[in-house]
């Protein structure tokens, strides 16, 4: 099902360049999240949003910013990509705080 | 603060046998939820099962059951009659329901399950 889509699915970028990843949902869910997944670390929260223009930091937010100007879109920006930001990035949505997440398919980002 | 611990980096099981994946948690929230997700080699995250901290019975979903022991702060996933398609990474996660946890899911580092024919 295409309730949540991430773009791009794969990206290779150079150190120092800005990168924006997009998460788009058609479920009208209030909550949206960005996680990164690295071997040995599980999934770690970068930023999250609890409404339009309402965002907050997660545990690994340094070097990342987010924006949510519409309910359906949540953008993650790496202002100046570094090799340590090479990772798989997952977006997730949630209907309310009492529900689990639905995840996007992930974006594999490589910073060279 | 919340913490999830999965102590088994990898597990092996024979097809058709049952397997238990361990998960312990720590939280100061009086009310919380526990989740298990499956991530096959294709990479997608698949929700398996949910247990609320005040639920009286252990959660079950088909071949999946959650062995919830609140006093021990454990939420082990039991997969009965393992199938080859169960080979995947499994993540335990929790979410506190107080304002301090801010609706976030905290994940463990995962357990890689391999089902042998």
CA distances from A41 to A36, A51, B52 (A): 9, 28, 25
The answer to whether A102 faces chain B, any CB pair under 8 Å, is yes
The answer to whether A9 faces chain B, any CB pair under 8 Å, is no
The answer to whether A50 faces chain B, any CB pair under 8 Å, is yes
The answer to whether B96 faces chain A, any CB pair under 8 Å, is no
Cα A4 off chain centre by = 12
Structure confidence at residue B101 (pLDDT): 55
Query: Is the Cβ pair A90, B45 closer than 8 Å?
Result: yes
CA distances from B111 to A36, A67, B48 (A): 17, 33, 14
Query: Is the Cβ pair B102, A48 closer than 8 Å?
Result: yes
Q: How far apart are CA A46 and CA B3, in angstroms?
A: 16
Note whether B59 and B48 are within 8 A (CB): no
Average pLDDT of the residues of chain B:
93
Q: What is the DSSP code string of A19-74?
A: EEEEEEESS--SEEEEEEEETTTEEEEEEEEEETTEEEE-TT-TTEEEEEEETTEE
Q: Which residues does chain B have within 8 Å of residue A93's beta carbon, measured at their own beta carbons?
A: none
pLDDT in tens, chain A (112 residues): 559 999 999 999 999 999 999 999 999 999 999 999 998 889 999 999 989 999 999 999 999 999 999 999 999 999 999 999 999 999 999 887 666 789 999 999 999 9
Question: Which of A98, A100, A106 lies nearest to residue B97, judging by beta carbons?
Answer: A98
Note whether B93 and B106 are within 8 A (CB): yes
């Amino acid at each position: 099902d295409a309730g949540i889509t991430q773009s791009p699915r794969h990206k290779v970028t150079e150190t120092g360049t800005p990168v924006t990843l997009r998460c788009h949902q058609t479920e009208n869910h209030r909550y949206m999240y960005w996680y990164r997944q690295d071997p040995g670390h599980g999934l770690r929260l970068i930023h999250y949003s609890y409404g339009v223009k309402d965002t907050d930091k997660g545990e690994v937010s340094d070097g990342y910013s987010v924006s949510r100007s519409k309910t359906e879109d949540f953008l993650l920006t790496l202002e100046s990509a570094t090799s340590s930001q090479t990772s798989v990035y997952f977006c997730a949505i949630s209907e309310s705080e009492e529900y689990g997440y639905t995840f996007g398919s992930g974006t594999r980002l490589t910073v060279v | 603060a919340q913490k999830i611990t999965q102590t088994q980096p990898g597990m092996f099981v024979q097809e058709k046998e049952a397997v238990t994946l361990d998960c312990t948690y720590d939280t100061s929230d009086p009310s919380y939820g526990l989740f298990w997700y499956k991530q096959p080699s294709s990479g997608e995250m698949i929700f398996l099962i949910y247990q609320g901290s005040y639920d009286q019975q252990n959660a079950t979903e088909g071949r999946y059951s959650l062995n919830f022991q609140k006093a021990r702060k454990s939420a082990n996933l039991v997969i009965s009659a393992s199938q080859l398609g169960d080979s995947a990474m499994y993540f335990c996660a929790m979410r506190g329901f107080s304002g301090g946890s801010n609706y976030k899911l905290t994940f463990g580092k995962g357990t890689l399950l391999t089902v042998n024919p």
